[in-house]
Each structure stands twice: as structure tokens, then as C-alpha cells.
């Protein structure tokens, strides 16, 4: 029994000595590392984070896209658009019951809510509903209206006598469908003197010129 006690005490002593020695060795090792770190810091201090950021910013070139600040010298093309406002156009052409005569000049007028600058006109046969050409009828298809003028002069061309009407298909670039009432185109009687022809034209609301 005494031998076992001695063995136990001896083992306890050895284990305690080993633990104490290991603790002392580890403590000395940590102290050595701390001393080494302090020595390195004293010789070469660590750079400040703010200084590192400032150094990187100052050493990095900044490229500026000159196209962002460039000003285009091209002037935009501003074109004047055609007036396409609804003109509220109303044709006024009302010859008397006798109609009109070939060779006489008559006034075609209108009412509108805006200044009329252009007209597209056609003389149409009331029976066949076929248009009469501008050369034969004397009525041009496209007409540019003079400023401050609200009328168009029409010298009746050489067409077959009969019933006709005037059609307006476009006003200031706006498509419309305006028609005059049906009227009669008469052939100028033969053998009349100029004065007699003039009187006949005036009696029907026109003139000889």
C-alpha cells in the first residue's frame, strides 16, 4: 500500500512539474513575440489608412470625356409648316338664272375663318360628273391666292354648253369637298359687237376682260 502511495505522489509531482514548465515556456514565448512586435513598430510605423487612400487618389489620373462638355455648333433646322388649320371654307358662286357665257370673266369668292393662300379647283360636268380640263375650262387646278384677296377671277373657257358646277378639293393644304350650285354655261351669241358682248357679260354678273 505504501508503494502505491509513493508511485501516486511521484506521478503527481512529475505531472505538476511538466505543466508548470510548459506554462512558463509559453509565457516566455508570448513575451518574446510582444517585444519583437514593439521593436518592429518603433523602427517602421504602420501607415495611416487615410494617408493610403489619399495617396491612391492623388496618383490615379482622372480622364475627362470632352464630348460631355462640347457644345454642338449645328443649328437645328426649323422649317415653317404649312397652315393645316380647318379654314371653315364656304364657296360663293351664284350666277343668275341665265348662267354664264363663254369668254366672260366672273368672280369666284368665298367665306373662310382664315386667310386663303391656295385653292385646288375643278370645273365638273353636272351630267357626266367628269372634270373638265383646266385648258378647256379656263379654270386652273392649282391657284395661289394673292395676299388680302378673297376672290379668284375665272374667264370661262371654250367648253360644250351645258350644266356644270365648280368643285373645291383643297384649301391651304387641307382636303375639303366644297361644291357650287349647278349653273349653265352658254355659248356667246355670234355676230355681237364688243360692246354688246360686254353688256351681256355684265348682265350675268361678269365682265368681258
pLDDT for 100 equals: 96
The answer on pLDDT for 22 being more than 50 is yes
Q: Which of 1-10, 15-24, 43-52, 103-112 is the most confident on average?
A: 103-112
Least confident stretch, 2-16, 44-58, 171-185, 189-203? 44-58
The answer on pLDDT for 199 being more than 90 is yes
On the 0-12 / 13-18 / 19+ scale of CB atoms within 10 A, 209 is exposed
pLDDT for 141 equals: 94
The answer on pLDDT for 16 being more than 80 is no
Q: What is the 3-state secondary structure (H, E, C) of 10-50?
A: HHHHHHHHHHHHHHHHHHHHHHHHHHHHHHHHHHCCCCCHH
Q: 119: Cβ–Cβ under 8 A, 6 or more apart, which residues?
A: 142, 143, 145, 152, 168, 170, 171
Tell me the per-residue pLDDT of 158-184, one tens digit each, with 9 for 90 and over: 999 999 999 999 999 999 999 999 999
Strand order across the beta sheet in which 105-111 lies: 90-92, 105-111, 151-155
How confident is the model over 62-75, as a mean pLDDT?
43
pLDDT for 66 equals: 45
Residues in the chain: 209
Q: CA torsion angle for 156, 159, 165, 171 (degrees, to 10)? A: -60
Q: Whose CA is closest to 159, among 190, 136, 127, 184?
A: 136
The answer on pLDDT for 126 being more than 50 is yes
What does the block give as the cell for 94? 351664284
193: left (phi over 0), alpha (psi -120 to 50) or beta: beta
Q: Whose CA is closest to 87, among 150, 171, 144, 177?
A: 171
What does the block give as the cell for 108? 369666284
Confidence of residue 147 (pLDDT cuts 50, 70, 90): confident
Confidence of residue 196 (pLDDT cuts 50, 70, 90): very high
Domains of the chain with CATH codes: 90-203 (2.60.40.1930)
Residue 131 CA to residue 129 CA, distance in Å, equals 7
Average pLDDT across the chain, whole number:
77
State the DSSP code for 123.
E
How confident is the model over 35-40, as a mean pLDDT?
54
The answer on pLDDT for 81 being more than 60 is no
Residue 137 CA to residue 131 CA, distance in Å, equals 9
pLDDT for 201 equals: 94
Per the model's pLDDT, the better-predicted residue between 89 and 2 turns out to be: 89
How confident is the model over 10-27, as a mean pLDDT?
68
Amino acid at each position: 500500500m505504501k508503494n502505491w502511495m509513493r508511485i501516486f505522489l511521484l506521478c503527481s509531482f512529475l505531472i505538476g512539474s511538466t505543466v508548470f514548465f510548459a506554462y512558463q515556456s509559453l509565457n516566455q514565448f508570448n513575451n518574446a513575440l510582444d517585444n519583437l512586435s514593439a521593436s518592429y513598430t518603433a523602427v517602421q510605423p504602420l501607415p495611416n489608412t487615410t494617408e493610403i487612400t489619399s495617396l491612391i487618389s492623388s496618383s490615379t489620373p482622372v480622364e475627362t470625356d470632352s464630348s460631355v462638355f462640347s457644345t454642338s455648333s449645328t443649328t437645328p433646322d426649323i422649317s415653317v409648316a404649312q397652315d393645316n388649320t380647318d379654314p371653315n371654307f364656304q364657296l360663293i358662286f351664284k350666277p343668275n338664272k341665265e348662267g354664264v357665257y363663254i369668254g366672260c370673266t366672273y368672280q369666284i369668292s368665298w367665306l373662310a375663318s382664315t386667310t386663303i393662300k391656295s385653292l385646288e379647283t375643278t370645273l365638273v360636268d353636272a351630267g357626266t360628273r367628269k372634270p373638265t380640263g383646266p385648258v378647256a375650262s379656263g379654270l386652273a387646278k392649282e391657284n395661289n391666292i394673292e395676299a388680302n384677296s378673297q376672290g379668284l377671277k375665272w374667264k370661262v373657257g371654250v367648253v360644250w354648253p351645258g350644266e356644270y358646277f365648280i368643285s373645291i378639293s383643297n384649301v391651304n393644304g387641307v382636303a375639303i369637298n366644297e361644291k357650287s350650285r349647278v349653273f349653265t354655261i352658254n355659248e356667246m351669241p355670234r355676230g355681237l359687237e364688243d360692246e354688246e358682248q360686254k353688256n351681256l357679260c355684265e348682265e350675268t354678273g361678269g365682265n368681258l376682260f
